[in-house]
């Protein structure tokens, strides 16, 4: 098996689909991922039901034509359970509604590596455990499927109890729409998914917010107007275009879309933001992810009622840049 799979041959399809075509698939959670994955699997010909608490998501699932059960009922009926509720509520919901109701020889599918990698969910012994972690937001998954396009996903077998878990995984990945044109499945692991997902958040994604803020402070100190700075940094949408060019042309190859002055500036000034000291910070964050320190910290934070988290949010939104952004966005008609 190669590391990347872009499509299945007809022969492979026939073999792997046999393992799921007569099964009942319960999608637990009908939010960002749940709705799109449920609709795609239904359109691919699978028998899909939804397990949800009674809320507006359950109503939407009913409106979309699905039979909606309580999570416990859906777990009893299902041969395959897609766990598409937020990561932080999964351990509790597993304990309360899923674990004791699952059939023997059934299959659990996660969309992220987090809970299984850290051993935070209690899963019955006689079940398969799979991961299909889309690298795509929920509505993108549905939108692309309807356009006949695929998307990337990291896939893994955590436990093969029935000796056909890999075939089930490939068939379910196909049913969600990954193997349509431009899509790709990457053979991965719960560990790798957790590492790359969290490390993004703990390195550049987090850093970007605070570098933008530092830039704002420096530029406005030097007389630049808040509006010019905010538009320059992100409000103009140029950033979106750069991200698109990175996706389509490549990280450094997209540089040629910028002026030569800009290219020279980026190539000479950029590297100081990735020196050995910064790499050491990234390495330490990676270690905190792999040894469970971050996960433990986050569990404690939740148990304490998000006190520190809420404080950080408050601090972040008290910054003068937030008020200036609000004024600008009102003028631009983006907020009321
Ligand atoms: P979401 O936040 O959209 O989930 C909403 C659903 O969870 C609703 O059906 C709601 O009824 C249910 N729910 C919320 N709290 C609940 C509780 N306490 N008990 C029972 N049900 C509850 O979730 P989302 O964003 O779709 O994430 C689902 C999984 O997909 C997660 O494992 C996430 O890591 C993964 N994932 C999400 C991506 C995204 O684009 N949001 C991308 C890739 C993976």
68 and 169 in a single domain? The answer is yes
The pLDDT value given to residue 336: 87
Q: Given 188, 211, 231, which residue is the final one in a domain?
A: 188
Is the pLDDT score of 1 beyond 60? no
178 and 281 in a single domain? The answer is no
The verdict on residue 222 lying in a domain is: yes
The pLDDT value given to residue 59: 98
Asked if residue 85 has its Cβ within 6 Å of ligand 1, the reply is: yes
Closest atom, ligand 1, to C-alpha of 29: 9
Element (H, E) at 221: helix 206-221
- Report the pLDDT averaged over residues 166-190: 97
148 and 262 in a single domain? The answer is no
Q: Given 188, 203, 233, which residue is the final one in a domain?
A: 188
List Cβ neighbours of 239 (8 Å cut-off, separation of 6 or more).
233
59 and 199 in a single domain? The answer is no
The pLDDT value given to residue 101: 97
155 and 246 in a single domain? The answer is no
The pLDDT value given to residue 2: 59
- Ligand 1 center to residue 3 CA distance, Å? 28
Token output for 308: 């520190």
The pLDDT value given to residue 173: 98
272-330: pLDDT as tens digits = 999 999 999 999 999 999 999 999 999 999 999 999 999 999 999 999 999 999 999 99
- Report the pLDDT averaged over residues 197-212: 96
Asked if residue 86 has its Cβ within 6 Å of ligand 1, the reply is: yes
Partners of 4 in beta bridges:
186
Nearest CA to ligand 1 atom 20: 53
Nearest CA to ligand 1 atom 3: 31
pLDDT more than 90, % of the chain: 99
The verdict on residue 336 lying in a domain is: no
Is the pLDDT score of 136 beyond 90? yes
The pLDDT value given to residue 56: 98
Asked if residue 137 has its Cβ within 6 Å of ligand 1, the reply is: yes
The pLDDT value given to residue 206: 96
93 and 18 in a single domain? The answer is yes
Asked if residue 8 has its Cβ within 6 Å of ligand 1, the reply is: no
62-80: pLDDT as tens digits = 999 999 999 999 999 999 9
Cα–Cα distance for residue pair 17/286, rounded to 1 Å: 37
Closest atom, ligand 1, to C-alpha of 33: 26
Asked if residue 82 has its Cβ within 6 Å of ligand 1, the reply is: no
228-252: pLDDT as tens digits = 999 999 999 999 999 999 999 999 9
Asked if residue 22 has its Cβ within 6 Å of ligand 1, the reply is: no
205-223: pLDDT as tens digits = 999 999 999 999 999 999 9
- Ligand 1 center to residue 112 CA distance, Å? 11
The pLDDT value given to residue 33: 97
207 and 179 in a single domain? The answer is no
209 and 324 in a single domain? The answer is yes
The pLDDT value given to residue 61: 98
Domain CATH for 57: 3.40.50.720
- Ligand 1 center to residue 87 CA distance, Å? 7
Closest atom, ligand 1, to C-alpha of 84: 28
Element (H, E) at 82: strand 80-83
176 and 198 in a single domain? The answer is no
End-to-end CA distance of the chain: 53
What phi-psi label fits residue 223: left (phi over 0), alpha (psi between -120 and 50 degrees) or beta?
left
The verdict on residue 121 lying in a domain is: yes
Q: How confident is the model at residue 42 (pLDDT cuts 50, 70, 90)?
A: very high
Nearest CA to ligand 1 atom 10: 29
Cα–Cα distance for residue pair 193/191, rounded to 1 Å: 6
- Ligand 1 center to residue 249 CA distance, Å? 32
Cα–Cα distance for residue pair 120/132, rounded to 1 Å: 18
The verdict on residue 65 lying in a domain is: yes
Asked if residue 32 has its Cβ within 6 Å of ligand 1, the reply is: yes
Q: Based on the structure, what is the number of domains in the chain?
A: 2
Is the pLDDT score of 84 beyond 60? yes
- Report the pLDDT averaged over residues 152-159: 98
Cα–Cα distance for residue pair 220/70, rounded to 1 Å: 54
Mean pLDDT of the chain, nearest integer: 97
198 and 298 in a single domain? The answer is yes
- Ligand 1 center to residue 83 CA distance, Å? 8
Partners of 27 in beta bridges:
50, 82
184 and 245 in a single domain? The answer is no
Closest atom, ligand 1, to C-alpha of 137: 40
Range of the domain at 176: 4-188
Nearest CA to ligand 1 atom 2: 86
Spell out the SS3 assignment of the chain.
Answer: CCCEECCCCHHHHHHHHCCCCCCEEEEECCCHHHHHHHHHHHHCCCEEEEECCCCHHHHHHHHCCCCEECHHHHHHHCCEEEECCCHHHHHHHHHHHHHHHCCCCCEEEECCCHHHHCCCCCCCCCCEEEEEEECCCHHHHHHHHHCCCCCEEEEEEEECCCCCHHHHHHHHHHHHCCCCCCCEEEECCHHHHHHHHHHHHHHHHHHHHHHHHHHHHHHHHCCCCHHHHHHHHHHCCHHHHHHHHHHHHCCCHHHHHCCHHHHHHHHHHHHHHHCHHHHHHHHHHHHHHHCCHHHHHHHHHHHCCCHHHHHHHHHHHHCHHHHHHHHHHHHCCCCC
Cα–Cα distance for residue pair 91/96, rounded to 1 Å: 9
The verdict on residue 86 lying in a domain is: yes
Q: Given 172, 188, 204, which residue is the final one in a domain?
A: 188
69 and 178 in a single domain? The answer is yes
The pLDDT value given to residue 107: 98
Asked if residue 111 has its Cβ within 6 Å of ligand 1, the reply is: yes
């Amino acid at each position: 098996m190669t590391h990347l799979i872009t499509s299945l041959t007809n022969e492979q399809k026939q073999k792997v689909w046999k393992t799921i075509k007569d099964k009942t698939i319960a999608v637990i959670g009908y939010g960002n991922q749940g709705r799109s994955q449920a609709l795609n699997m239904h359109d691919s010909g699978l028998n899909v039901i939804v397990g949800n608490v009674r809320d507006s998501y359950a109503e939407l699932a009913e409106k979309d034509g699905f039979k909606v059960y309580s999570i416990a009922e859906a777990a009893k009926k299902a041969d395959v359970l897609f766990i598409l509720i937020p990561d932080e509520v999964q351990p509790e919901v597993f304990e309360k509604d899923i674990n004791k109701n699952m059939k023997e020889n059934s299959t659990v599918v996660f969309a992220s590596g987090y809970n299984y990698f850290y051993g935070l969910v209690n899963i019955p012994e006689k079940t398969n455990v799979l991961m299909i972690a889309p690298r795509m937001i929920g509505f993108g998954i549905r939108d692309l499927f309807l356009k006949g396009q695929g998307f990337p996903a990291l896939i893994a077998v955590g436990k093969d109890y029935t000796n056909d878990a890999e075939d089930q995984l490939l068939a379910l990945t196909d049913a969600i729409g990954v193997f349509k044109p431009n899509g790709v499945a990457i053979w991965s692991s719960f560990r790798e998914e957790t590492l790359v997902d969290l490390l993004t958040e703990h390195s550049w994604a987090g850093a970007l917010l605070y570098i933008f803020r530092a830039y704002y402070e420096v530029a406005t100190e030097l007389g630049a107007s808040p509006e010019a700075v905010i538009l320059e940094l992100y409000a103009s949408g140029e950033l979106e275009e750069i991200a698109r060019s990175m996706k389509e042309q490549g990280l450094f190859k997209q540089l040629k879309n910028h002026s030569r002055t800009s290219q020279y500036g980026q190539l000479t000034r950029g590297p100081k933001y990735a020196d050995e000291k910064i790499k050491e910070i990234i390495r330490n964050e990676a270690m905190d992810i792999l040894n469970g320190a971050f996960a433990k910290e986050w569990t404690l934070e939740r148990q304490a009622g998000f006190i520190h988290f809420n404080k950080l949010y408050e601090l972040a939104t008290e910054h003068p840049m937030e008020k200036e952004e609000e004024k600008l966005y009102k003028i631009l008609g983006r907020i009321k």
